[in-house]
Amino acid sequence: MDLKEIKKIATKKHKGQKRKQGTPAILHPLGVAEILKEKGFSQEYQIAGLLHDTIEDNEETTYEEILKITNLEIATAVNLVTKEENYDEQDYHDRIMKNDMARMVKLADRLYNLRDAVNANIEFQKKYIKETMKWYVNMAKGTCFEKEINEAIENLKKTVKRKEYKQKIERYKSTFKQKKHLDVQTDAEQKNNKEVEEIEY
């Protein structure tokens, strides 16, 4: 298996696809593979990282196809991290925990997404923090990803707090402007009423 050839295959599989933020989808598996490389994992782990979304994001891509271009270990890991329609989160978590390659790929995937989530909307960020703390902190425990995933969670929490503070300030400014506008209207009405009274007098 040649890593460069697998990159080409992954790029072709994700051609035209975009992430929620609008960035090319291929940047994600490339980033996941890079994290695995930085952590010292073998090329096989990196290849699993490159291909980890291919079955999930392409209806025409199958486990059999991944097996044909890689090997049983990689194809199994890719299949394990693939979310089926109406999947059960507990079952998904449990099956990944039983396979080291799938577990490491999923943790690299989660770390990438946590870092990338700083650009998402606040609702998604809150949901992602909660989901990560429920399922992935435990998955990362005792691994080389534990520290960085926890740091990424804290960083995302800070991002949420900054956004909430900014929203609070904007609401205050909006309320203040509305109140000031009403006060001006009230002063004008009072002045007008006084002038009317003077004319009537």
Q: Please list, in sequence order, all residues whose beta carbon lies within 8 angstroms of the beta carbon of residue 104, skipping any fewer than 6 positions away.
A: 36, 39, 41, 45, 143, 145
**Residues with catalytic function:** 56-57
What is the Cα–Cα distance from 19 to 21, expressed in whole angstroms? 5
Sign, CA dihedral 16-109-53-126, equals negative
41 to each of 34, 35, 181, how far by Cα in Å? 10, 9, 62
User: Can you read off the two tokens belonging to residue 14?
Assistant: 């994700």
Which amino acid is it at 164?
Answer: E
**What's the gap between Cα 121 and its chain centre?**
10
Which residue stretches of the chain are H helix? 3-13, 27-38, 43-51, 54-57, 63-69, 72-81, 89-97, 100-116, 122-131, 137-140, 146-200
